[in-house]
Structure 1
Amino acid sequence: MALELVDSHCHLTWNSFDADRPEVIARAAAAGVTRLVTIGTDLESSRQSVALARAYPGVYAAVGIHPNDLGEQTPSLLAELSALAADPHVVAIGEIGLDYYWERVPHPIQQAAFEAQLALAAAVGKPVIIHDREAHADVMATLRAWVHADATRQSALAGRRFWGVLHSFSGDLAMAQEALTWPFLLSFAGPVTFKNAQALHALVAQLPLDRLLLETDAPFLTPHPQRGQRNEPARVVLVAEAAARLLGRPLADVAAQTTATAREFFAWNSS
């Protein structure tokens, strides 16, 4: 029986796909990647992600403003994200969060936008896809407050088992364990295939399979042995193979469970 996989996080709107986007999507399907989620990082890429999801079966969209792409936050921006989120092809708000690596946007502006978009997700009932780069403490503090807020518990998310995912997880075991006490998942990408990522390998081996998602973050984070090339969704197969080795589980089990978890998280049907 052929494997069925999901790429839970890629960026098909990136200009590096302009020359062959239909072929990239076709190669993913041929590799058993039956569904993929293309992620917005600003208003324009969010609009483009929705358009791609409308155009291609098996493609879904997330809409949001990445912390490195924040301009002046305005009520009209949030209103447009809310309108985009109403589209049935939109399955999440993201990617949103904090990035202290590049220092392109002052931390208070990042924080305000993060909180505003978390509130939007709670209002529209869509889970969140979290970006966290060298901002672990502040990301966790913000999510901790959001998860435990009375208003959030009574939000449109309250009926869902999972409210969010920490994408391309880069924290330690203690951070992972706390996140797993919340209605959250952890997602892993190409770095789990890197030979020198020993700490990440040890971490993944200690995690429950039923709380994990797989992703490529394409065109970024290309897995071994294609490092240095443009990444694409078909290569989520390499991430699944690495996860199976680390977890000591058959590849078929990893594919089936992560696909089932993605189906529940993104609330798409099994058709």
Structure 2
Amino acid sequence: MLFDTHAHLNADQYADDLEEVVERAKQAGVSNMVIVGFDRPTIQKAMELVEHYDFMYASVGWHPVDAIDMTDEDLAWIEELASHPKVVALGEMGLDYYWDKSPKEIQKEVFRKQIRLAKKVKLPIVIHNREATADIVEILKEEGAEEVGGILHCYSGSPEIAREVVEMNFYISLGGPVTFKNAKKPKEVAAEIPLNKLLIETDCPYLSPHPYRGKRNEPAYVKFVAEQIAEIKGLSLQEVAEATAANAKKLFAIK
């Protein structure tokens, strides 16, 4: 009953063994996953996957690192895809101040355009944040993003900011880092944010949980994330799996 809300099975890292990876996910109890596209090639591949696998859904958007490359045609294409029955969110979008490929002002502009599009097509948004928390929260407020809500994916910020965005109709999604021994903030967030506002993800092929840290991640490993949250909250794995899956289905309007 696990729902991996953020997977990149559209990445080249799975070119040789996708079927085996999917099978392992099923064996681990993963019932649904969202495949995230963030540029032309990855969106295209995400759409192919969700049309092939009935338990996969897609989120389509433009990554902030590549914001400088996004054209009006790309935005129009994303709008077109938003009406596809298996597209359940827009993103990942947001701000990334770690890499400097795209100037900050261009990132902000592209982020705002995608939030406005999400409000137009009535889909939640999936947010990528790297070293840009204050600006992201400000833009979400200014653009009235709470109208559609969404996810702060692979959340690594403070419990205080988490509480603030939860009040703005957003879910907090935790991934592999919550299992790391030295990861203080994600563990605090897992403890403090109510279960009905938490989601789980892998962000595979990145950020593998312990004990696979440093190796290629895959959806089957989302179980380790759920187990860690269960341990922190004093709940059973089943309770965390069922609650986070119900949260995801509610957010993504999946029957």
Conservation of the 8 A alpha-carbon contact between 2:178 and 2:186: yes
Identity of aligned residues (%): 43
Amino acid at match of 1:216: T
Deviation, 1:22, is 1.6
In the other structure, the counterpart of 1:125 is 122
Alpha-carbon distance change, 267 to 13 in structure 1, aligned in 2, over 3 angstroms = same
Conservation of the 8 A alpha-carbon contact between 2:157 and 2:185: no
Amino acid at match of 1:79: A
Counterpart check, 1:199 vs 2:199 = no
**Residue of structure 2 aligned with 1:224, choices 184, 197, 210:** 210
Conservation of the 8 A alpha-carbon contact between 2:152 and 2:171: yes
Counterpart check, 1:167 vs 2:167 = no
Deviation, 1:73, is 3.4
Counterpart check, 1:238 vs 2:224 = yes
In the other structure, the counterpart of 1:12 is 9
In the other structure, the counterpart of 1:160 is none
3-state SS of paired residue (2:138)? helix
Amino acid at match of 2:224: L
3-state SS of paired residue (1:70)? helix
Amino acid at match of 2:214: G
CA distance in 2, matches of 1:70, 1:202: 32
Conservation of the 8 A alpha-carbon contact between 2:155 and 2:186: no
In the other structure, the counterpart of 1:67 is 64
Conservation of the 8 A alpha-carbon contact between 1:42 and 1:70: no
**Residue of structure 2 aligned with 1:249, choices 229, 235, 242:** 235
Structure 2 gap segments, 5+ residues each = none
Conservation of the 8 A alpha-carbon contact between 1:164 and 1:184: yes
Deviation, 1:252, is 1.1
Bigger mean CA offset, 99-108 vs 211-220:
99-108
In the other structure, the counterpart of 1:31 is 28
Amino acid at match of 2:104: H
Task: Return structure 1 stretches of 4+ with deviation > 4 angstroms.
Answer: none
In the other structure, the counterpart of 1:262 is 248
Taking structure 2 as the reference length, what is the TM-score of the superposition? 0.97
CA distance in 2, matches of 1:18, 1:170: 29
Deviation, 1:146, is 2.0
Bigger mean CA offset, 6-15 vs 201-210:
201-210
3-state SS of paired residue (2:235)? coil
CA distance in 1, matches of 2:41, 2:68: 13
Deviation, 1:199, is 2.9
CA distance in 2, matches of 1:199, 1:213: 16
Deviation, 1:179, is 0.5
Alignment of 1:122-161 (within 5 A): 122-147=119-144, 153=147, 157=148
**Residue of structure 1 aligned with 2:85, choices 85, 88, 104:** 88
In the other structure, the counterpart of 1:51 is 48
Counterpart check, 1:211 vs 2:197 = yes
Bigger mean CA offset, 111-120 vs 64-73:
64-73
Amino acid at match of 1:88: P
Deviations 1:22-44 (A, max 9, x none): 22112111111010001011122
Counterpart check, 1:190 vs 2:176 = yes
CA distance in 2, matches of 1:174, 1:146: 21
Conservation of the 8 A alpha-carbon contact between 1:168 and 1:188: yes
Deviation, 1:245, is 0.8
Bigger mean CA offset, 209-218 vs 75-84:
75-84
Deviation, 1:196, is 0.8
Conservation of the 8 A alpha-carbon contact between 2:3 and 2:200: yes
Deviations 1:140-177 (A, max 9, x none): 000111227xxx85xxx4xxxxx211001111122111
Conservation of the 8 A alpha-carbon contact between 2:174 and 2:186: no
Amino acid at match of 1:256: E
**Residue of structure 2 aligned with 1:76, choices 73, 77, 82:** 73
Structure 1 gap segments, 5+ residues each = 158-162
Taking structure 1 as the reference length, what is the TM-score of the superposition? 0.91
Conservation of the 8 A alpha-carbon contact between 1:191 and 1:223: yes
**Residue of structure 2 aligned with 1:41, choices 31, 38, 42:** 38
Aligned length: 255
**Residue of structure 2 aligned with 1:178, choices 152, 159, 164:** 164
CA distance in 2, matches of 1:72, 1:101: 17
Amino acid at match of 2:217: N
Amino acid at match of 2:222: V
